[in-house]
Amino acid sequence: VPQVRVSAENYTYIETNSTQALRVHYPTSNSDEKLSSLTATFQSVENAIMAEDSVDSLTGKSLSELIDIDSWARKYLMEEISANWDACSVSQYFYSDGADPSGRIYASPVWDYDNTLGNKNAFGTENPQMLYGNFEYVRDDLYTPWFYHLYRKDEFYNKVVQLYQSEFLPAFESAIETDLYDYADMIS
């Protein structure tokens, strides 16, 4: 469970109602007021993610008002494509861009990909025929409640499909057709 990891290291963290623990990196000087505000923000995000109508019933804000759907969809795709063992449950970065007056939460940067691309044999990730989202660990409401519920929302799902078709798939095709050969030449 994620909160065990952050509490064991004595990190400053907040926790949502679904027990999603979030370590607070910045600002480094966290007052009770700041932590309370962060908790309320992320709880609002969680409420909208889990609500059938994608609206936090406490604030009245919709999911698209609370998060940057594009960055969250990209993050999901990175986890899926890389078969990240930590996908959507631990080692996730989220931030709020001070220049964005909406205060939406962004999912980025990607990091901690040491257990990806078959490097972790748990859950059969060494099988290239199986996308990671098909594994119960990622599909489960208990371990990955945010992405579990997001994937079931049309707005998020459609963004994932659109990004995959318009950006990710062409990049893979380019890599297969030319980039891999160029890298091989460079390495040799």
pLDDT digit string, tens, across residues 105-123 = 999 888 777 777 766 655 5
pLDDT of residue 61 exceeding 90: yes
Helix (H) or strand (E) holding 44: helix 32-50
Dihedral angle sign, alpha carbons of residues 51, 143, 155, 39? positive
> What pLDDT, on a 0 to 100 scale, did the predictor assign at position 56?
97
69: closest CA among 9, 143, 158?
Answer: 158
**Which residues, including other chains, have CB under 8 Å from residue 62's CB and lie 6 or more apart?**
48, 54, 55, 56
Angle at 114 between CA 108 and CA 115, to 5 degrees: 100
Mean of the pLDDT values across residues 159-184? 91
Mean pLDDT of 147-160: 92
Give yes or no for residue 125 having a pLDDT over 90: no
Grouping H, G, I as helix, E, B as strand and the rest as coil, residue 168 is helix
Q: Give the model's confidence band at 141: pLDDT under 50 very low, under 70 low, under 90 confident, else very high.
A: low
| b/e map 49-86, b = 16+ CB within 10 Å | bbeeebbbeebebebebbbbbebbbbbbbbbbbbbbbb
Helix (H) or strand (E) holding 142: none
Which pLDDT score, from 0 to 100, does residue 136 have? 47
Between 26 and 158, where is the model more confident? 158
More confident residue, 136 or 144: 144
Q: What is the pLDDT of residue 1?
A: 45
Top pLDDT among 37 and 112 is at: 37
